[in-house]
Amino acid sequence: MSTITSLGIGSGLDLNGLLDQLREAERGRLEPLAKQKEAQEAKLSAYGELQGALSAFQSATDALNDSSLFASVSSNVTGSSVTSAASSDAEPGRYDVDVTQLARSQNIATRGFADGHTFSEGTLSIETGSGTFDIAVAEDATLEDIRDSINAAGEGITASIVNDGSDEPFRLVLATNETGTDAEIRSISFDGGEDRLVFGDGATGNSMTEGVAAQDASLEVNGITITSQSNRVEEAIQGVTLDLTETGLSTVNVERDNRGVREAVGAFVDSYNSLRETTGELTSFNAETGEAGELLGDSAMRMVESRLSRTLGDGVAEGEFRALSEIGISLQRDGTLQLDDARLDEVIVNDRDALTEFFAGQGDEPGMAGALSQTLSQMLGDNGLLDSARSGVQTRITSIDNRTERMEISIERTIERYRSQFAQLDSMVAEMNETSSYLTQQFDNLNAMFGRD
């Protein structure tokens, strides 16, 4: 059988062009399926957009479902002598903090030694507030060897070597890692022949000198004197950690975190309104153009809107506040929420416990945020409302793909049948043309034999 490139050679007909037109006409049967798939893919994307808006609303809802949000406190400092951080245990109040002394770590140094100086064998004993530890000094050990051995011991002391620029410039310096008198070095002894390193009461001969003495921090909080081993002071004010930075007077104000609660409620309202905007776009209809949102009339979308509306409208069963409107959140005609900032501020300041119970619930009874969180989890969880809706769409897309594949196979078979028929037609017309030419030639010969023109 002739290939498509040879069609029409025998007959002189444009059979290739005709075959292309037939193929285009046959493939027109695929267009409805392509449009169906495009619509389902658009719906799948719309479900993803809806899920994102619901997830954002769930995050804002979960924040209000945490009772610790309403119990949180914040602290601010006037002055530069301290910084502070308050925990939920802190009690609101004003605290005057007068830092009279900062905690310091101790610093002790040996006399100077010449470059390359070595020590005789011996034991270096160091007593601190936590006990005594020994460092074995080998024969001909250097300052570097002793430094490394002290650091390797891990006993809360860091050794280093400094150069003071004198004729014997190299000095071994020991510094406590922690501040305060509890961590101080109380005594040092090493008898290495001529090199005696000693520190402490009654130390003589090659004695080590204290450059910086260990010192505790001292401060007054509302007139009460407090000492601390470090410059981080915990529980001097209940639930507050103070970091001392310099001497001087500062004022620490601890107050309930009204701003945090206000921002959380505002985020709840904003995220719900954003969700409403998303659902409005996905279910819109333009009467003039006929354009419609991807989820217009969708059953899953109707269920989402219905459940959220019912949960918001039902409020809570118990407590001083039962409905959103009582705390300053009202439902508008367009379905969005509007926040009355003045009313919310009044509730936060004067009825904080009731507000906590309204949103976060009490005991096993969920509040408004808890009820919404449960509803949203049913929508967003595995095998939930949206998961089932997406699975249904994906199943339809797979079905459309299978139908498209079968139809494409059918179209190709039809085109192959047309090609075979065209090849037969081409061959038949070619044979007829040959017969016609032969007959014409024979008639011409007869006419010539009989002298006919």
Query: Does residue 203 sit in the same domain as residue 324?
Result: no
* Residue 218 DSSP class: E
Q: Which residue has the higher pLDDT, 306 or 30?
A: 306
Q: Is residue 113 a part of any domain in this protein?
A: yes
Q: Which residue has the higher pLDDT, 139 or 290?
A: 139
Q: Is residue 301 a part of any domain in this protein?
A: yes
Q: Is residue 435 a part of any domain in this protein?
A: no
Q: Which residue has the higher pLDDT, 225 or 407?
A: 225
Radius of gyration for the alpha carbons in the chain, expressed in angstroms and rounded: 45
pLDDT band at 253; cut points 50, 70, 90: very high
Mean pLDDT (the chain) is 88
Asked if 252 and 82 touch (Cβ cutoff 8 Å), the reply is yes
pLDDT in tens, 136-171: 999 999 999 999 999 999 999 999 999 999 999 999
Q: Which of 413, 424, 419 lies closest to 5, judged by CA?
A: 419
Query: Does residue 158 sit in the same domain as residue 59?
Result: no
pLDDT band at 447; cut points 50, 70, 90: confident
What is the per-residue pLDDT for 4?
Answer: 41
> What residues does 219 pair with on adjacent strands?
99, 226
* 81 class by beta-carbon count within 10 Å (0-12 exposed, 13-18 middle, 19+ buried): buried
CA-to-CA distance for 196 and 193, rounded, in angstroms?
7
Take residue 103 and report the two structure tokens written for it: 């905690």
Q: Tell me if residue 452 falls in helix, strand or coil.
A: coil
Q: Is residue 316 a part of any domain in this protein?
A: yes
Query: Does residue 188 sit in the same domain as residue 208?
Result: yes
Q: Residue type at 154?
A: G
pLDDT at residue 42 greater than cutoff 80: yes
**What is the largest distance, in Å, between two alpha-carbon atoms of the chain?**
159
Q: Is residue 448 a part of any domain in this protein?
A: no
Query: Does residue 312 sit in the same domain as residue 398?
Result: yes
Query: Does residue 226 sit in the same domain as residue 287?
Result: no
pLDDT at residue 388 greater than cutoff 60: yes
Query: Does residue 145 sit in the same domain as residue 205?
Result: yes
To the question of pTM greater than 0.75 for the whole model, the response is no
Query: Does residue 357 sit in the same domain as residue 309?
Result: yes
Structurally, the chain folds into a number of domains equal to 3
* Residue 225 DSSP class: E
Query: What is the signed CA dihedral for 178, 184, 187, 188, rounded to 10 degrees?
Result: 20
Q: Is residue 451 a part of any domain in this protein?
A: no
What is the per-residue pLDDT for 435?
Answer: 77
pLDDT band at 382; cut points 50, 70, 90: confident
Query: Does residue 192 sit in the same domain as residue 228?
Result: no
Query: Does residue 93 sit in the same domain as residue 226?
Result: yes
pLDDT in tens, 104-133: 999 999 999 999 999 999 999 999 988 999
* Domain span including residue 346: 1-72+257-429
CA-to-CA distance for 230 and 216, rounded, in angstroms?
7
Q: Is residue 264 a part of any domain in this protein?
A: yes
Percentage of the chain lying above the pLDDT 70 cut = 93
Q: Tell me if residue 29 falls in helix, strand or coil.
A: helix
Q: Is residue 446 a part of any domain in this protein?
A: no
How many CA atoms does the CB half-sphere of 442 hold within 13 Å? 6
Asked if 230 and 217 touch (Cβ cutoff 8 Å), the reply is yes
The domain that holds 185 is classified in CATH as: 2.60.40
Query: Does residue 298 sit in the same domain as residue 223?
Result: no
* Residue 324 DSSP class: G
pLDDT band at 6; cut points 50, 70, 90: low
Query: Does residue 236 sit in the same domain as residue 274?
Result: no
Query: Does residue 160 sit in the same domain as residue 113?
Result: yes
